[in-house]
A = this chain, B = another copy of it.
Amino acid sequence: MDKSPAALQPLYLRVKRHILENIGSGKWAASSRVPSESELVKSFGVSRMTANRALKELRDEGIVVRIAGVGSFVAERHARAHPLEIRSIADEIRERGHVHRAETVSLERIRATAELAEDFGIARRSELYCSVIVHFENDRPMQLEERYVLPALAPDYLKVDFGRNTAHDYLISVAPLQQAEHLLRAAMPEERIRKLLAMKRDEPCLLVIRRTWTAGQIASVARLYYPGSRYEMSGRFRP
């Protein structure tokens, strides 16, 4: 490999850039074939491992699809999915340089309602732990967190001090998080929730319902209410 000319960036990046340029310019249309590893070896004079790295990274980035025994192809882009990050409210507030404080409204053992039993995949009237916590940003309520937890997976849940740890942090410390699902809604809050969040009448809520799996079963269901007038979720994305 001669390194002197244009050795400004690693070889695998040059190969990647070449492929990306051809895809970006439309020269290689969606689902059309991109050069195989051995073709790249010939045309760029690199080793197969280097060509492999370029194609593997493009696959990881969702730019190409690779099929063993067949070849690599330009991926049908999904008109592109843009991820929006859902983070811990405590982190978010601290990153804004504000003071986070949590107040436990209730923390108790309850019996599963029909709806909850279905969510968790357990029998009706089974035991569940339930916490209701209000999170404040500079003493203004910003999130009401209503959380239901499977006792088997977090037996000490009722003893946790949620002023110090968030429930989410406690749960990932107790049991490894396998999977999470989010539902996002706009809804009018119940009177009880409206008061806890000090919201005006007729003000809508942003509601995030988060379900997390551990060991193949649902470990926790959280309903996170945000006051619509005060809270805004944001996310950035670079392709």
Contacts and interface: CB of A to CB of B under 8 A. Distances in A.
Given A181-B235, A181-B237, A226 B79 contact: no
Given A182-B234, A185-B232, A232-B183, A87 B81 contact: yes
Q: For the complex formed by this chain, how many copies does it contain in all?
A: 2
B80 A177 contact: yes
Given A24-B176, A86-B84, A176-B24, A184 B232 contact: yes
11 contacts: A60-B60, A78-B88, A83-B83, A83-B84, A84-B182, A179-B236, A182-B234, A182-B235, A185-B232, A186-B186, A187-B204
Interface string A173-206: 1001111111111111000000000000011111
Contacts of A24: 176
Interface in A99-134: none
A206 B184 contact: yes
Contacts of A226: 186
A169 interface: yes
A144 to B, nearest CB: 14
Interface in A148-191: 166, 168-169, 172-173, 176-188
Closest CB pairs A-B (n = 9): A204-B204, A83-B83, A186-B228, A186-B186, A184-B233, A79-B88, A81-B85, A186-B206, A186-B204
A185 B234 CA distance: 9
Interface string A65-102: 00000000000001111111111101100000000000
Interface residues of A, number: 53
Contacts of A90: 79
The interface residues of chain A, by DSSP majority, are classed as mixed
A238 B80 contact: no
Nearest to A207: B186
Nearest to A204: B204
A204 B228 contact: yes
Contacts of A187: 186, 204, 228
Interface in A216-239: 226, 228, 231-239
B81 A178 contact: no
